[in-house]
Amino acid sequence: MYQILVVEDEPDIRAVLRALLESEQHRVVEADTAERAEIEARSHKPDLLLVDLGLPDGDGLELIRRVRRFAPVPIVVLSARSMEEQKIAALDAGADDYVTKPFSAPELLARVRAALRRIARRKDVLPRLGFGSLTVDLERRVATGPASGELHLTPVEYRLLEALARDAGALVTQRRLIREVWGPDRIDDSRNLRVVVRNLRQKLEPDPRRPRHIVTEAGVGYRLCAEATAES
């Protein structure tokens, strides 16, 4: 059972979120302002925050920045703001994922489950990733498939997979991927990122034209949807 802090000023939406989360056996703490949310985050030390950006006493982005100063807790934004630059701003502020209102209950719960799974494996052991019949062992840097045997991935392709795998299931911005793979001096070079993503899809996706594992979030970044198991 995990404890989740819901930061939302609309009582009806809070009630819906509480019912959904309690149906998954989570404990729910509520806050209707940014000030109350920071107090609850410090006192209850929740396992995850669900944060609306439009709060009556301030912007949720500033709340995310403040929480990030004292806790690495996963933060999922739940907001009616749907512009790409607004999503990027939330992710750059420290959010782990972004769900747009009106939301689908199954999608929201899936994002919550993915964020909670990352608690146990965040920055511990690099996982093995399953792409259908292919397996990529990031610790040993070995990729194999039943038909082709060992599959060659370049060092930069491994680095990109590692950057995505650290937050598997979450949306990772282009800027963050470029910074982690190529360094801060290449932060505006999105062309190389697109090339490496295309090459990885050619090697790992069953149908590269319809990717299921390395998914594009248009204008924002990428999401890794692969089975991940830590090395035993």
What is the pTM assigned to this prediction? 0.66
Highest averaged pLDDT of the listed ranges 143-147, 183-187, 208-212: 208-212
**In the predicted model, is pLDDT for residue 123 greater than 50?**
no
Q: Which residue has the tokens 């690099």?
A: 126
**Residues ≥6 apart with Cβ < 8 Å to 232:** none
**In the predicted model, is pLDDT for residue 71 greater than 50?**
yes
Cis, bond preceding 102 (omega within 30 deg of 0): yes
**Residues ≥6 apart with Cβ < 8 Å to 198:** 208
**In the predicted model, is pLDDT for residue 231 greater than 70?**
no
CATH of the domain at 180: 1.10.10.10
How far CA 111 is from CA of 21, 106, 170, in Å, comes to: 12, 9, 8
Alpha helices in the chain (DSSP H): 11-23, 34-44, 60-68, 84-93, 105-121, 155-165, 174-181, 190-204
Mark whether 9 and 113 lie in a shared domain: yes
The rounded percent of the chain whose pLDDT value lies above 90 is: 49
Mark whether 113 and 136 lie in a shared domain: no
**pLDDT for res 63:** 95
Mark whether 135 and 41 lie in a shared domain: no
In the three-class reduction of DSSP (H, G, I as helix; E, B as strand; rest coil), residue 46 is classed as coil
**pLDDT for res 232:** 36
Mark whether 113 and 205 lie in a shared domain: no
Helix, strand counts (H, E) of the chain: 8, 15
Mark whether 146 and 99 lie in a shared domain: no
Mark whether 107 and 172 lie in a shared domain: no
Question: Mean pLDDT in the chain?
Answer: 87
Using pLDDT thresholds of 50, 70 and 90, give the confidence band for residue 137.
Answer: confident
What's the mean pLDDT in 84-92? Answer: 86
Higher pLDDT, 185 or 109: 109
What's the mean pLDDT in 136-161? Answer: 83
Give me the number of domains the chain comprises: 2
126 secondary structure, DSSP code: P
CATH of the domain at 24: 3.40.50.2300
Using pLDDT thresholds of 50, 70 and 90, give the confidence band for residue 230.
Answer: very low
Q: What does the pLDDT look like over 185-201, one tens digit per residue?
A: 677 778 899 999 999 99
Mark whether 12 and 91 lie in a shared domain: yes
Residue-range definition of the domain harbouring residue 102: 3-121
Per residue in 209-220, is it b (16+ CB within 10 Å) or e — as a string?
eebebbeebeeb
Mark whether 136 and 51 lie in a shared domain: no
Higher pLDDT, 181 or 19: 19
Q: What does the pLDDT look like over 13-67, one tens digit per residue?
A: 999 999 999 999 999 999 999 999 999 999 999 999 999 999 999 889 999 999 9
**In the predicted model, is pLDDT for residue 126 greater than 50?**
yes
The rounded percent of the chain whose pLDDT value lies above 70 is: 91
Mark whether 115 and 144 lie in a shared domain: no
Using pLDDT thresholds of 50, 70 and 90, give the confidence band for residue 148.
Answer: low
CA distance 207 to 169: 20
